[in-house]
Amino acid sequence: MILEVCIESAESAIAAEAGGANRVELCDNLMEGGTTPSLGAVELTLKNVSIDVMMMIRPRGGDFLYTDLEYDIMMRDIQLAKELDVYGVVFGLLTPEGRIDKPRTAKLIEAARPLSVTVHRAFDMTIDPFEALEDLIELGVDRILTSGQEPSTEQGIELLAELVERAGDRIIILPGCGIEESNISDLVSRTGVKECHVTGKHQIPSLMKYTNPRVFMGVPDAPEYEKTVVDPQRIKALRAAAEA
């Protein structure tokens, strides 16, 4: 079982490796599903871990229909990812009709090689998952990150199983979203997946002595005085449950 841990800091990368992760997906802004991380975060993550590092290429939150300028930003970020020598990149582009944007995706894949390429949960926003599956296989994508087009993998487990069966050895189906120690074993046994995308996170209180409860820097009522990082013990537990 290959465990990929979704992270947003070098600190979490270190913790994920300590817990036995095989790979990390480095993002920024996970509250919006992940956006492109800073180059500094990528560089210091690579410096501090020996496991594979995937880099999210997503210029903003929201939908996956990008302007020409946003597309150019993605192309440039892929070039920078190659210069940093990451293991792979993660992106996804859709048409207004909810299908894979094949021409643009093909160009990003060409620019990314020889890096590994994952198409993220933009797949879950497609109108026809089986059409999208075949399109991505045709394009030569290495893996698809998906919750089975549902809010969590538990709810999407039937589609995940069918995707795995249809994909065969042509592409890797990487389930992600809502995978916990309590359900990963059932997910693996019912779908036959060989890789899982997990978080295994916990919250660490801030060391600030003075706090101002009236002001927030982002989403109202979001925790301002704690940070979310990977718990290595949870990664160990997830692996043990997956391999049981």
Q: With respect to residue 208, please indicate whether it lies within any of the assigned structural domains.
A: no
Structural domain count of the chain: 1
Q: Which domain holds residue 170?
A: 2-200+232-243
Q: What is the mean pLDDT of residues 113-133?
A: 98
Q: What is the pLDDT of residue 8?
A: 96
Q: What is the pLDDT of residue 199?
A: 96
Q: With respect to residue 223, please indicate whether it lies within any of the assigned structural domains.
A: no
**Half-sphere exposure for 186 (CA within 13 Å, toward CB):** 12
One-letter amino acid of 136: L
- Residues 162-217: tens digit of each pLDDT: 999 999 999 999 999 999 999 999 999 999 999 999 999 999 999 999 988 888 88
Q: With respect to residue 154, please indicate whether it lies within any of the assigned structural domains.
A: yes
Q: What is the pTM of this model?
A: 0.94
CATH number at residue 185: 3.20.20.380
Q: With respect to residue 217, please indicate whether it lies within any of the assigned structural domains.
A: no
Q: With respect to residue 105, please indicate whether it lies within any of the assigned structural domains.
A: yes
Q: With respect to residue 8, please indicate whether it lies within any of the assigned structural domains.
A: yes
Q: What is the mean pLDDT of residues 29-45?
A: 95
